[in-house]
Structure 1
Amino acid sequence: MTQPDQPIPSFDRQLELTDIPNIDLYMDQVIQLFERTFQETTRTEGETILTKTMINNYAKKKLFFPVTNKKYTKNHLILISLIYQLKGTFSINDIKTILTDLNTGVTEQTIDLENFYQSYLDTTEANLTAFEEQQTPTDDLDHLEQLQLILSLAHMSNLYRRAAERLIDGLEK
């Protein structure tokens, strides 16, 4: 339970295009940007959001196109943001499948990643609004009612994840 003097974590926060500087960033700057952006969505204080090891692993697994001169472009930051959103639900291999065509389109300049990402942000905003409208007040629930709600939310999460996995499987074919 959240203590009265602690802020309530936000359900959602996205890296907005306006949050991304118009200059390329070094890895430490990328980590700082992600820490500032996503800190309010963490469950516990001090929770790790992004580390050098994580970024290096994403690069080794080719989840985003190669970095030049150890600097990350706006497109890299967008892709890392998408990876951050996906990693809580999907395996690294699934994320690679999801992002392969996007990476190819960016490197071949057939996809405008900023427009794609803005469309994604618009969708997440609509999803958040729908989610907030469906939320039931939880202040008056007893323990068993809270348990029922937890189980229900977990079930819905599993249904959505399985639906997404079927789409991913379709991408692999």
Structure 2
Amino acid sequence: MKTNEERLQKILEHLDGLDYISPETIPNIDLYMDQVTTFMDKHLSETKRYPDDKVLTKTMINNYAKNNLLPAPSKKKYTKEHILLLIFIYYFKNLLSFNDIEQLFRPITEKHFNPSDGMPLEAIYKEVFSQEDSDLERIKSDILEKYQHSSKTFEEKGIEGDDLEYLRLFSWICELSLDVYVKKQVIEQLIDDLREDPSLKKKK
């Protein structure tokens, strides 16, 4: 049985290998849908759980547009701004409902998607992801702290060997899951507050 220490090292190595898509790598020309899916799969392949998973498909893009997460393309071509939004959607879609993402994105798409004035979407993207390195370091520290805490569970219970290793793994996963659960509730509460804000009501 693999040890929890080995699992921890593999996780930390994986996190060290993560990197966000730099806006400079996104083509400055408009892309057809097939080109968009190819670009996303190439640059986000390290985030896939399984090798055969698709980062993005035509069906997904159509669903995002249908649910108002993504502005419609112009003449079947997608701009750099579309791709930036798709990257945000990629990170949010496993955490939030389409309804929540649409609520969160609406001010962004209304005010910053190809704006005539004000901050463009690319500048927002750069500002958000400029914090990535420090954010990942804090996340790694938190994972390590939870691992160390779980490594002290079930002491003096008379449990040994693989059974003890598994119970400590279970404890570690429970700690990580509680963290995700609570933060997800916080995010949903913040989005619900946005939904009630008169200045951010959907335009008729």
TM-score bin, normalised by smaller chain? 0.7 to 0.9
Q: Relative to structure 2, which stretch is displaced further, 107-116 or 86-95?
A: 107-116
> Aligned equivalents of 2:124 and 2:166: distance in 1?
43
- Could you tell me which residue of structure 2 aligns to residue 4 of structure 1? none
- Could you tell me which residue of structure 1 aligns to residue 128 of structure 2? 120
Contact in 2 for aligned 1:62/1:96 (Cα 8 Å): yes
> Aligned equivalents of 1:10 and 1:60: distance in 2?
34
**Residue identity opposite 1:151 in structure 2:** C
> Aligned equivalents of 1:155 and 1:135: distance in 2?
12
- Could you tell me which residue of structure 2 aligns to residue 130 of structure 1? 138
Q: 1:79 to 1:61 in 2, by over 3 A?
A: same
Contact in 2 for aligned 1:13/1:41 (Cα 8 Å): no
Contact in 2 for aligned 1:10/1:41 (Cα 8 Å): no
Contact in 1 for aligned 2:143/2:176 (Cα 8 Å): no
After TM superposition, the runs of 4+ consecutive aligned structure 1 residues lying more than 6 A away are none
Identical counterparts, % of pairs: 32
Q: How many residues align?
A: 166
Larger Rg: 2
- Could you tell me which residue of structure 1 aligns to residue 38 of structure 2? 32
Matched, 1:143 2:149: no
3-state DSSP of counterpart to 1:126: helix
Structure 2: tracts of 5 or more residues without a match: 3-9, 152-164, 197-204
**Residue identity opposite 2:73 in structure 1:** V
3-state DSSP of counterpart to 1:97: helix
**Residue identity opposite 2:188 in structure 1:** E
> Aligned equivalents of 1:26 and 1:41: distance in 2?
23
Give the aligned CA root-mean-square deviation in angstroms.
Answer: 2.0
**Deviation of the 1:35 alpha carbon:** 0.5
Structure 1: tracts of 5 or more residues without a match: 2-6
Matched, 1:17 2:23: yes
- TM, length-normalised to structure 1: 0.87
Query: Equivalent residues in 2 for 1:22-171 (5 A)?
Result: 22-107=28-113, 108-109=115-116, 110-136=118-144, 142-171=165-194
**Deviation of the 1:130 alpha carbon:** 0.9
